[in-house]
Structure formats: C-alpha cells, structure tokens
Structure 1
Amino acid sequence: MNVIREARSDTARKRPVNLSLNEDLVDQARAFTDNLSAVVEDLLRRYVSERNEALRTRIQEADRLASMWNAFNERNGSFADEHSTL
C-alpha cells in the first residue's frame, strides 16, 4: 500500500476537471459561496488527508502486530515446527 503524497501547496498548478454534481446541491452551495472550486478543493484536500492518515494508522498497526508476532515466535518457536514432516 502506498500513501498518497500530500498536495505540495496551495500554489500548485491547477487544471480543469470535469465533475458531474447534483444540480440542486450545487445551487444550494452557491448560496454560500461564489467560489465553488475552492470549496470542493478544500473538501477534497481534507478527504485525501483523512484517507492518508487512516492508511498510515493501518500500516503502523500492521507493523506493530508483525513485531509482536515475531517476538512471540522468537520466544516460543513456530507452531509449524511441531507439525513439520521434514
């Protein structure tokens, strides 16, 4: 699993994208802002940041569990050793 890189900055190059959004929702949002692009970009930045943090947490947890298993295996040996036919 790769952690998605964070956006470099607010000054990163912008490019047009084509989105399909609920028309009623867009009309409601326009009542609150004239810059819908900035709002969507901010929400997308937060979403990516949250997903990256969740991924980092899962990776850290997996590393921690692997370390615990390896320590157990070093102390007690492998369960497979008792059942090996070799």
Structure 2
Amino acid sequence: MPVPVAAARKRPVNLTLSEALVTQAKAYTDNLSATMEALLADYVAAQQGARRDRQRRVDACMADWNAVSASIGSFADEHSTL
C-alpha cells in the first residue's frame, strides 16, 4: 500500500536537470520540489497501473489457454517420443 506523499519522510536527492527547463518551470511554481514530487507520484501511479493492466491481460490469456488445454488437450499429447 503506497504511503501518501504528504505523510512520507522527505530527504534530499540529486537530480540533473536542464538549467533552462528549471528556469522556465520556476516561472510556473513557487515550490519546484513539490511540483516534481507530484509529477513523479503521478508517473509512479501510472506505471503501477500499467503493470497491473499487463498482469490482468496475462492472467486472462493464461486462463483462456488453460481452458483450451483442458477442453481439447495439447497438440503435443498426440506426438510422444516415447
């Protein structure tokens, strides 16, 4: 379960960002750290959602394949090398 961003312990980190981009961003926010943290939190949430979606698709595919296998068996079952 993710920790809410406001409740999480904060620590300084080093980032390498374009100086020109930082200058432009400061024109839009008084708190660049909070803005970057919010953007990073959104990115992480989107990536977690994408991972869950991929896993759901894999699970559905495996369930379908298992149903086919249970229903008609495997092609390889008819071709034993023993």
Distance in structure 2 (CA, Å) of the matches to 1:75 and 1:38: 55
Match of 1:51 in 2: 47
- Residue 75 of structure 1 pairs with residue 35 of structure 2: no
**Post-superposition offset of 1:55:** 0.2
Instruction: Give the residue type in structure 1 aligned to 2:69.
Output: N
* Structure 1 match to 2:31: 35
TM-score normalised by L of structure 2:
0.94
Return the structure number with greater helix share: 2
Structure 2, unpaired ranges of 5+:
none
Identify unmatched segments of 5+ residues in structure 1: none
Identity %: 53
CA RMSD of aligned residues (A): 0.9
| Deviant stretches of 4+, over 4 Å | none
Deviation at 1:67, TM superposition (A): 0.4
Paired positions, count: 81
Q: Distance in 1 between matches of 2:79 and 2:53?
A: 35
Deviation, 1:74, is 0.5
